[in-house]
Homo-oligomer: A and B are copies of this chain.
Amino acid sequence: MAYSYQRLDKDDVTVLMIDHQAGLLSLVRDFGPDEFKNNVMALADIAEFFDLPTILTTSFEDGPNGPLVPELKAKFPDAPYIARPGQINAWDNEEFVQAVKETGRKQLLIAGVVTDVCVAFPALAAREAGYEVFVVTDASGTFNTTVRDAAWDRMSQAGVQLMNWFSVAGELHRDWRNDIEGFGGILANHLPHYSNLIQSRDATLKN
């Protein structure tokens, strides 16, 4: 059966950051807190680096779910920001879907909290709407790994592709020569061991 490689294309990707809110984050337990914060900010840096249209959305900010984490707000001051009045599935919010449509792009990179709801529901709805959907699994969190495994399976069977921030970065960048410094900087900032490699090499070069 013929297979067609749906490959991330920086000119055809939109990033959806869904419900990374201070309250909801306290529910995330399939990642350690330091690791998860790093993963989310790595994805944000990637979106900025490749100048990808990015859409922010939250649910019920003024209840226990809490405000969007300030680092994301600061990173994307001009991004569409849809504070949903009640819809659990962001795709049920017309303003959100409209913002996606207006980017004119067919590939969606989705990350959010929690994976089984805030990520899975719009991912499945976007699949039905004909989009190529990629979930950034390590910038999305939920209650525990059992819940995560079930959510991944449901999405995967629906044709959603499971990626991680590092593979997203690599698939978008394609060639180191496009910008060695910039791309290396993202790795150094978010992969402590890659940073160590650079430091060891620089020290050796100086000697």
| Residue ID in chain B nearest A143 by CB atoms | B166
- Residue from B26, B66, B88, B197 in contact with A176 in the complex, judged by beta carbons closer than 8 Å: B88
Q: Is A102 an interface residue, CB under 8 A from the partner? A: no
Q: Are A193 and B163 in contact (CB under 8 A)?
A: no
Cα–Cα distance between A59 and B175 once the two chains are bound (Å): 10
Chain B residues with Cβ below 8 Å from A205 are 204
Q: Are A117 and B27 in contact (CB under 8 A)?
A: no
Q: Are A176 and B60 in contact (CB under 8 A)?
A: yes
Q: Are A22 and B150 in contact (CB under 8 A)?
A: no
A4/B128 contact (C-beta < 8 A), A86-B176, A204-B201 known: yes
Cα–Cα distance between A170 and B183 once the two chains are bound (Å): 38
Chain A, interface size: which category? 35 or more
- Residue from B36, B157, B174 in contact with A192 in the complex, judged by beta carbons closer than 8 Å: B36
Chain B residues with Cβ below 8 Å from A52 are none
A36, A176, A180: most-surrounded residue (chain B CB, <10 A): A176
- Residue from B121, B164, B184, B197 in contact with A116 in the complex, judged by beta carbons closer than 8 Å: B164
Chain B residues with Cβ below 8 Å from A191 are 27, 33
Known: A22-B195, A66-B200, A138-B150. 7 other contacts (CB 8 A): A5-B158, A31-B146, A88-B174, A116-B164, A117-B170, A149-B162, A150-B163
Q: Are A92 and B27 in contact (CB under 8 A)?
A: no
Chain B residues with Cβ below 8 Å from A158 are 3, 5
Q: Is A120 an interface residue, CB under 8 A from the partner? A: yes
Chain B residues with Cβ below 8 Å from A147 are 137-138, 164, 166-167
A167/B62 contact (C-beta < 8 A), A22-B199, A23-B197, A25-B196 known: no
User: Could you write out 24 A-B pairs with CB less than 8 Å apart?
Assistant: A5-B128, A22-B200, A23-B200, A23-B201, A32-B34, A32-B35, A34-B34, A37-B192, A64-B198, A64-B201, A86-B176, A86-B178, A88-B171, A88-B173, A92-B175, A117-B166, A117-B167, A121-B170, A138-B147, A138-B150, A143-B166, A146-B164, A150-B163, A151-B162
